[in-house]
Structures are given as structure tokens and as C-alpha cells.
Amino acid sequence: MSDLLERFEGFIEPSGREWQLLSQLDPAKLPRHIAVIMDGNGRWAESRCLPRVAGHREGSKAVRAVVETSARLGVPVLTLYAFSAENWKRPASEVGTLMSLLEDYLRRELHTLQENGISFQAIGRIHELSPSVQKELRDVETATSHNRGMKLVVALNYSGRLEIVDAVNRIIASDRKEPITERDLSENVYTAGLPDPDLMIRTSGEMRISNFLLWQIAYSEIYVTDVLWPDFRPVHLLEAVLNFQRRERRYGGLRPASVANTR
């Protein structure tokens, strides 16, 4: 049995679809960073005649298995888009539910993070969140900071455009005299020090980026699934990773076969 399959023993059914997908994955070609736009909570609830917050509640349950599957796979970084800077436009009750679901998740899942060696980081304009959410985030960041496994990044009060604005302002404040370079930007966005996402997954079928990681996704592979976030399970993550591994990435260059044709 391969190392990869061994890591999933007892976690998934040995004869199921997940096992089949896992045995097709190449452990040497895993994405170094997966970013997920968790969309479709509202539609999931509305299709069941439930209030929208029921969709968020179910969505927060779906987070757990996806985090653990990514960690077991050996993906170095997983970033989840949990609350955008634009989400403040939603009714106060929905915003309140999202914030308390996040706090519940952090309290409830700290031990899963520790058991799986996962370190936690929040990105976005965190200083604009309530003091209690900020404290919870800081506590989990500190408690998991020594972990050397996967990094779980949660984007909160996040906007890709504001992130670029914040990065430029930080560079200006550092009294830099030379022209700003790409490297300066990469070193000053919230994800400084992390690899850019190789794979970006969006659930619920929408073909949009929604202001997520605009700087970092220049060469990301985008995978959109019709599955609504509350229904997203490890099998769907494995399907996305296998699809990613079958793509050819050229970064603006040529395919090896085409290079031969230019001689």
C-alpha cells in the first residue's frame, strides 16, 4: 500500500470512490496550495425551504472533513474564503451567525488542528472584526503556531483589491525609494511567505473569482464544481486534485512537443 493510502486508513472506506481516486493520485504532484471559494450555502438552504443561516451551519460542518483530507493528503496550504469584505452588506443576523459559526469552529476544532499538526492563520482586515472574534483567532494562531503540518488559512473580512491596496501602503510606509517590483508586492500581501495557490476550487457552479486572492492566482488552475458547499465532501476534493494533476501547466510558455516544432 502506498504512503498516501496508508495515511487514509481508518478515515475513508477502502473500497469506496475516495480510495479509487486516492490510488490514482501522484503524491509528487500535489498542489502546494489549494484555495476554496465555499459558495452555495444560501441556495442549499433555500432548496430545502430552510433559512439561509441553516446553509451556513451545514457549510461549517463541511469544513472539517475538507481540512482533514487536505492535511492527510500532504497539501502544504489550504485557504478558505469564509467572509468577504463585501459580506457586511448582508442582514446583521446573517453576519452574526457567520461570526459565531466561525468562533464555534475554532473552539470545537482546535484539537483536530493539533492532532493533525495543522497551523492556523487568519487573513484579511482582521483588526475590523469584533474583539471577541479577534481574540479567538489570535488564540488559535498562537496555540497552533508550533505545528509543522499543513497551514490552514481562513480569509475573513477579506478583499483581494483591499489586500493589494494594503500591500502598496505598507511598501510606501517603509520609505522605499526604488520603483516597486512584483517581489515587493508578493512580500507584502497577507499571504507573504506562502506559495501562490496552484489550484482554486469554487463550489456551486458560479464562474467568478469574487475578489479572492487577486494577486496570488495569476497562474492558478481554476476548478468549478456544481456541488453546493454544504454538500462538498472529501470525494469532491479528491476529484478536484485529480483533475488538477491531469492538466498541463505552461505559465505562458510552450508545450514540450511545440518546442520541438520550433527547431
| Residues with a known catalytic role | 39, 87
Shortest distance, position 186 Cβ to ligand FPP, whole Å: 25
Closer Cβ to ligand FPP, 30 or 63, answer by number:
63
- Report if residue 102 touches ligand FPP, rule: CB under 6 A: yes
Closer Cβ to ligand FPP, 22 or 236, answer by number:
236
Burial class of residue 121 (count of CB atoms within 10 Å of its CB; 0-12, 13-18, 19+): buried
Closer Cβ to ligand FPP, 82 or 194, answer by number:
82
- Report if residue 236 touches ligand FPP, rule: CB under 6 A: no
Shortest distance, position 80 Cβ to ligand FPP, whole Å: 5
- Report if residue 42 touches ligand FPP, rule: CB under 6 A: yes
Given 21, 31, 34, 40, the residue binding ligand FPP (CB under 6 A) = 40
Name the one range near ligand FPP by CB under 6 A: 36-44, 116-124, 244-252, 255-263: 36-44
Burial class of residue 51 (count of CB atoms within 10 Å of its CB; 0-12, 13-18, 19+): middle
Q: How many residues in the shown chain lie near ligand FPP by CB under 6 A?
A: 20
Can you list the pairs that 86-90 forms with residues at least 24 positions away whose Cβ atoms lie under 8 Å? Answer: 86/159, 86/211, 88/157
State which of positions 60-89 bind ligand FPP (CB under 6 A).
60, 63, 80, 82, 87
Cell numbers at 204, concatenated: 456551486
Query: Where on the chain is the footprint of ligand FPP (CB under 6 A)?
Result: 38-43, 56, 59-60, 63, 80, 82, 87, 98, 101-102, 105, 154, 204, 229
